[in-house]
Structure 1
């Protein structure tokens, strides 16, 4: 019997994950059954269970890929030297995340899937650990980025670098949620909004 190539195995796994992601994006995790997944991917139960023992395992794999996409965009931005200002940096991160075609999903559908995955971490300890590990990695990388701002003399030293990093991460995450809920989120909107906030002069408020 001929051995199945690794390329074939990888392609079959990709087929299952992409089909399941479409189902989850359409009907939610709890509204999707394994039968729905089997119908979507056009495979037998045996073929799917060879790769994933159950629906929770498929969700875990999709979670890791989705979080990795978001985490990768943040990590790439943190390595830029010298780092661009937050308006340029965060709009670039948002653009890279939403431009990704993971699972062949439209950008709003991908954003909706990300929000569902974030919500699912509140009830699933395995997914929560995946999220915690990724978030810790992002915070550490972006704290170094904020310290680079300080070293360049464009950020005052009276605010903890971790606090600034968390706020920047939350801004990008918030725009992903906006895309999921309302659509029509464009990176230039984030850039313009941040540029406006950065231009405020506290001295004129007194």
Structure 2
């Protein structure tokens, strides 16, 4: 029997994830059955279950990939001197997430899947754990990025690292929700918007 290459295995796994994501986007997690996934990807039950134990396992894999995409962008930023400012960084994060988290899907579909995952964590302990771990990792990386900002003289002292991290993460969350609900979150939208906010000077009281 010929040995199956890792490239083939990776491509088959990707095929399953993309097909399942399309199903989830159309019908939601609860409205999608494994039979729906099998029909979408055109594979046998045995072929799919070779990679995933069930629907929840597929959802967890999609969630993990989304977090990995975001974390990679943040980590690359911490290794850049000087680090990209928040307006540029957030544009990269959202662009990378929508364009690379689940290949072959439209931006709005990816955002919709992420929002579904967030709501699903309220009832699924496994997903809730993944979300907590991903959020903790993001805050750690952002803490490192804040230190890099201070070292480069971009960010003044006195602003708690965690407050900066949580604000930037919340901004990313907000744009993901906007994309899911309304679409049209182009890279330049958060970049220009944040740059404008960052450039404002406080007015002196008259």
TM-score, shorter chain, exceeding 0.5: yes
- 2: distance between equivalents of 1:3 and 1:152? 52
Q: Aligned in 2, Cα 1:99/1:204: closer, same or farther, shift over 3 Å? A: farther
Matched, 1:36 2:26: no
CA RMSD of aligned residues (A): 1.8
The equivalences for 1:58-77 within 5 A come to: 58-77=58-77
TM-score w.r.t. the length of structure 2 is: 0.90
TM-score w.r.t. the length of structure 1 is: 0.90
Matched, 1:132 2:143: no
SS, match of residue 104 in structure 1: coil
Quote the offset at 1:35 in angstroms: 1.0
Q: Aligned in 2, Cα 1:63/1:101: closer, same or farther, shift over 3 Å? A: closer
Contact 1:100-1:107 at 8 Å conserved across structures = no
Quote the offset at 1:59 in angstroms: 1.3
Quote the offset at 1:89 in angstroms: 2.2
In the alignment, which residue of structure 2 is the partner of 1:166?
166
Quote the offset at 1:85 in angstroms: 2.2
Unpaired segments ≥5 residues, structure 1: none
Quote the offset at 1:150 in angstroms: 2.0
- 1: distance between equivalents of 2:26 and 2:205? 48
**What number of residue pairs does the alignment pair up?**
206
Quote the offset at 1:101 in angstroms: 6.0
In the alignment, which residue of structure 2 is the partner of 1:4?
4
Task: Point out the more displaced range, 191-200 or 105-114.
Answer: 191-200
Quote the offset at 1:195 in angstroms: 1.8
Quote the offset at 1:124 in angstroms: 1.2
Contact 1:101-1:107 at 8 Å conserved across structures = no
